[in-house]
């Protein structure tokens, strides 16, 4: 048993070394990936449930590694967050998304403006320069502030709540809209809605996935919708993969939807083809 234990220990530490090594390698390779053209921003359309019209898009970052192909955002965003690389990558995504959204507004004309929503990581939210980064980007690109939505996760808001609230208030004063992403997965969602100034919540796709089968998930989704509405907050459901989910969400009064059933994340040119 002792020998097995020893082997076991050796095995785990080797696996751990490999994980650490992979991280360090990824971090090194991610540095400069933007400049080498390995990173791109995709856009997933967001629709209004009451009339089926497209109202905006979420910007999602992709990394095509020269040897390994596509790296999952859940992997490389984490690396960027931990290493601090997100502090340069974040603003690059923001700038690209704002620039592209200006193109869409020009093409849309009378159909009305689309919003673009950009994910902001916890680390970016801790940075006091964020409001200035956003303000400068809006000036440089000429995008109307109300067309820019920032998505924050619940966990990013937890912690220094007073400081985050001040920062969000500053952003909202510029006219930018704030959404709480992955809503329902944290533990204190309800209380945050009272204290943190936000415009919308995105119900996490883990709830949406099962609403047709699981009465609890449907009950929670319905409760989030009615609670948000009573506070004057817009509700987005993400991860809508079937028509049945779409219909059910419409019946329950959800405002906006996003998901594979309506449209996958697309490269800019393909997304722009949807604009007509």
State yes or no: residue 87 binds Ca ion (CB under 5 A). Answer: no
Q: Tell me: does residue 182 bind Ca ion (CB under 5 A).
A: yes
Residue 56 interacting entry, from Ca ion, ligand C2E, none, C-beta within 5 to 8 Å by type: none
**Smaller CB distance to Ca ion: residue 29 or 182?**
182
- Give yes or no for residue 154 binding Ca ion (CB under 5 A): no
Residue 151 burial (CB count, 10 A): 20
Site string for Ca ion, 211-240 (x = CB under 5 A): ---x--x-----------------------
Residues in the chain: 276
CA distances in angstroms from 259 to 80, 185, 219, 231, 241, listed in the order given:
25, 18, 20, 25, 6
Q: Is 76 helix (H, G, I), strand (E, B) or coil?
A: helix
81 contacts: CB under 8 Å, gap ≥ 6: 121, 122, 123
Of 38, 95, 210, 272, the residue at the interface with Ca ion (CB under 5 A) is 210
**Of the two residues 215 and 232, which places its CB atom closer to Ca ion in the complex?**
215
Answer for which of 151, 189, 201, 218 binds Ca ion (CB under 5 A) is: 151
Site for Ca ion in 17-76 (CB under 5 A): none
Residue closer to Ca ion by CB (options 29, 57) is 57
| Piece of the chain touching Ca ion by CB under 5 A; list 35-43, 61-69, 149-157, 254-262 | 149-157
> What is the per-residue DSSP string for 204-238?
-HHHHTTTTT-HHHHHHHHHHHHHHHHTT-EEEE-
Distance CA 207, CA 231 (A): 21
Find which of ligand C2E, Ca ion, none residue 221 binds, CB within 5 to 8 Å per kind. Answer: none
Binding site for ligand C2E (CB under 6 A): 44, 60-61, 73-74, 77, 93, 119, 121, 151, 181-182, 205, 238-241, 259-260, 265
Cβ proximity to ligand C2E: between 29 and 182 the closer is 182
Taking residue 174's Cβ as centre, other Cβ atoms within 10 Å add up to: 13
Instruction: Please pick, from the candidates 87, 154, 181, 255, the single residue that binds Ca ion as defined by CB under 5 A.
Output: 181
Q: Which is nearer to ligand C2E, 99 or 205 (CB)?
A: 205
Residue 61's SS3 state is strand
- Considering beta carbons, is residue 93 or 168 the nearer one to ligand C2E? 93
Residue 194 near residue 233, CB atoms below 8 Å: no
The listed partner (Ca ion, ligand C2E, none) that binds 210, CB under 5 to 8 Å by sort, is Ca ion
Both tokens assigned to 41: 């921003």
- E-strand ranges in the chain read 39-48, 54-65, 69-71, 115-119, 148-153, 177-183, 200-203, 234-237, 256-257, 266-267
Work out what residue 214 binds among Ca ion, ligand C2E, none; the CB cut-off runs from 5 to 8 Å by kind. Ca ion
Binding interface with Ca ion (CB under 5 A): 119, 151, 181-182, 210, 214, 217
């Amino acid at each position: 048993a002792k020998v097995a234990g020893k082997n076991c220990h050796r095995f785990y530490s080797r696996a751990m070394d490999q994980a650490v090594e992979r991280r360090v390698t990824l971090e090194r390779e991610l540095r400069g990936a933007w400049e080498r053209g390995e990173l791109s921003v995709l856009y997933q359309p967001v629709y209004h449930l009451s009339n089926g019209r497209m109202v905006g898009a979420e910007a999602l970052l992709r990394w095509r590694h020269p040897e390994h192909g596509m790296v999952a955002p859940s992997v490389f965003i984490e690396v960027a967050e931990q290493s601090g690389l997100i502090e340069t990558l974040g603003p690059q995504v923001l700038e690209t998304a704002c620039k592209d959204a200006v193109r869409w507004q020009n093409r849309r004309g009378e159909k009305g403006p689309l919003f673009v929503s950009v994910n902001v990581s916890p680390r970016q939210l801790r940075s006091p320069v964020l409001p200035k980064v956003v303000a400068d980007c809006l000036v440089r690109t000429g995008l109307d502030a109300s067309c820019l939505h920032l998505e924050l996760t619940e966990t990013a808001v937890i912690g220094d709540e007073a400081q985050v609230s001040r920062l969000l208030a500053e952003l909202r004063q510029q006219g930018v809209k704030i959404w709480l992403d992955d809503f329902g997965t944290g533990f204190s969602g309800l209380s945050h809605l009272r204290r943190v100034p936000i415009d919308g919540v995105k119900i996490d796709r883990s709830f949406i996935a099962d609403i047709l089968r699981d009465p609890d998930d449907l009950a929670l989704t319905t409760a989030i919708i009615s609670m948000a509405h009573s506070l004057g907050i817009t509700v987005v459901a993400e991860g809508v993969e079937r028509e049945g989910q779409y219909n059910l969400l419409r019946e329950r009064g959800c405002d906006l939807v996003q998901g594979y059933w309506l449209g996958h994340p697309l490269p800019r040119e393909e997304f722009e083809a949807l604009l007509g």
